[in-house]
Amino acid sequence: MAEVPTAAISRLVTYLRILEELETRDISRTSSTDLAERAGVSAFQVRKDLAYFGRFGTRGMGYTVPILKRELMRVLGLNQTWNVVIVGVGRLGQAIANYPGASDYQFQYVGLFDVSPELVGRQVRDLTVRHIGELRDFVRENKVDMGFLAVPPERAQDAAQAMVTAGVRGILNFAPVVIGPRPPEGRAESNAQQEIGDDWRGVIVENVDFLAGMKRLAFYTLNPHLKDSPVPEDT
Amino acid sequence: MAEVPTAAISRLVTYLRILEELETRDISRTSSTDLAERAGVSAFQVRKDLAYFGRFGTRGMGYTVPILKRELMRVLGLNQTWNVVIVGVGRLGQAIANYPGASDYQFQYVGLFDVSPELVGRQVRDLTVRHIGELRDFVRENKVDMGFLAVPPERAQDAAQAMVTAGVRGILNFAPVVIGPRPPEGRAESNAQQEIGDDWRGVIVENVDFLAGMKRLAFYTLNPHLKDSPVPEDT
DNA sequence: GACTGTGAATAGTTTCACAGCG
DNA sequence: CGCTGTGAAACTATTCACAGTC
């Protein structure tokens, strides 16, 4: 079902970032070998990853930085505007809202939401924090494409459900829990709708879980032989 | 080289979190089917993942929550203390330092480092921010196990190199760049040591890259058919 | 001659079916 | 009888070797 490996998409994002860096340094040409070295992968991998989406290089010559950059931005959907809401405006949500780099790609924060009376009404960046009850109407009126979820874990599922019900199609989940369509859960037999979860159809969830990363790091620090180290075997 | 799939480790972390939740709800027994549903994976997968590390269940009965939880904590290395430094104490670094949940697993923040004169000397949580120049001695004197890297991208490689040189064995990298041993880079031919990168041998890097997550989300929102949706096909 | 693009081989991961055991 | 644990099958991803072309 995945004709393009999901790992390939992560690598494309890395290649794009490298191309941007090369561009700021006025380096206009590169090669699969050069990109591979900078990205910490093999040159085969770079060529294969690019080949899933087209032919961007010139045989014998390599790649032209601005052209490959433009093509990768197109492939990744980064040459269009994305309207984003952040749900959860605590310390983490504020750090996200203020993190530089998002606006480089036309990711525009159009709304911030929280439940806390201490936060609602406050100004964060150029936006006023709204109550999460306003989310539904806001999403519809403002053509919101994505939501970033930065609430405490115990509220994540409900907040995610609210986003999906409101019509958000993509969620970047920062909470250390699995969010998704929930089966009935209560002992009460689900004689009600079997279409629970139907509004999740087509919704994309990407997780950015710092606590999980910390635990994986603990494991691999104890078991380094189970992980490809960043020290490459060959080139 | 990886007899245990890396994805399996991520899933073990998820199972552990689910077991903790079950424990707080006083649910003392579970099964591969139950865990699978809560984690959003198949029951086969749960059993296979656990089987990499031992036999934790009882045939015909399922798993005892506290026992499986204890075993997973042991496997993941979460029943020992980890001394952690945070390098980079801007908004993101402070959000990390204050994020609840790390101390549940004996992750202890023992030092905070930055270069900014505005931050050095300031109090964050119960720690005083130190200058990064003190990192080397600090790591040696305080048996630091891991470093969390939350500096701006252009400083990440140097800061990571400083951590590794100081003796840090595991890095959780929040910066949106690839860090690792660097080949010479300058035009000047590398007649010098070929053992560049040798101090990276055995160092584990885990990345938590929010900007990359955002871009992957953009891609999959445009190409939902390339991603397994969170809506399960069957159970 | 150099470097890309790609079908074929290899390696790795997930799924499956069922044997094993309480 | 129910649910775990596991070898074998199916599938997916990566590596490789080389044909194609500038």
Its CATH architecture, for the domain A6-76, is: Orthogonal Bundle (1.10)
Nearest nucleotide (CA of A56 to C1') = C4
Residue B105: the pLDDT is 83
Interface of B with A in 134-153 (CB under 8 A): 145-146, 148, 152-153
- Residue numbers 52-111 of B with CB closer than 7 A to any atom of strand D: 55-63
Judged against a pLDDT cut of 90, whether residue A50 lies above it is answered with: yes
In chain B, list all ranges with CATH 1.10.10.10: 6-76
How do residues B99-139 score in pLDDT, each as one tens digit? 999 988 889 999 999 999 999 999 999 999 999 999 999 99
In chain B, list all ranges with CATH 3.40.50.720: 82-181+193-213
pLDDT class of B184 with cuts at 50, 70, 90: low
Q: Which of B4, B94, B201, B217 to mutate to test the interface with A (most CBs of A within 10 A)?
A: B217
Calpha distance B171→B85 (Å, rounded):
10
Task: Tell me which residue of A98, A78, A109, A100 sits closest to A16, measured CA to CA.
Answer: A78
Q: What rounded mean pLDDT belongs to chain A?
A: 92
User: What value does the mean pLDDT take over residues B130-149?
Assistant: 97
3-state secondary structure of A109: strand
Fold classification of B82-181+193-213 is Rossmann fold (3.40.50)
B57 in a labelled binding site:
no
In chain A, list all ranges with CATH 3.40.50.720: 82-213
**A20 Cβ neighbours under 8 A, 6+ residues apart:** A69
A110 Cα to chain B: minimum distance (Å): 15
Calpha distance A5→A2 (Å, rounded):
6
Report chain B residues whose CB lies below 8 A from the CB of A174. 210
User: What value does the mean pLDDT take over residues A221-229?
Assistant: 88
A19 in a labelled binding site:
no
Judged against a pLDDT cut of 80, whether residue A190 lies above it is answered with: no
How do residues B15-74 score in pLDDT, each as one tens digit? 999 999 999 999 999 999 999 999 999 999 999 999 999 999 999 999 999 999 999 999
Query: Would the CB atoms of B16 and A231 count as touching at under 8 Å?
Result: no
Residue B228: the pLDDT is 75
Name the CA dihedral angle for A106, A110, A115, A120, rounded to a multiple of 10 degrees. Answer: 120
Residue B182: the pLDDT is 82
How do residues A91-145 score in pLDDT, each as one tens digit? 999 999 999 999 888 899 999 999 999 999 999 999 999 999 999 999 999 999 9
Interface of A with B in 44-73 (CB under 8 A): none
Judged against a pLDDT cut of 90, whether residue A186 lies above it is answered with: no
CATH of domain A82-213: 3.40.50.720
Residue A228: the pLDDT is 74
CA distances from A226 to A92, A210, B6 (A): 32, 21, 8
Structure tokens at A21: 């860096």
- Residue numbers 94-153 of A with CB closer than 7 A to any atom of strand C: none
Interface check for A224 against chain B (CB to CB < 8 A): the answer is yes
Residue B124: the pLDDT is 95
How do residues B206-232 score in pLDDT, each as one tens digit? 999 999 999 999 999 999 999 876 665
Residue B15: the pLDDT is 98
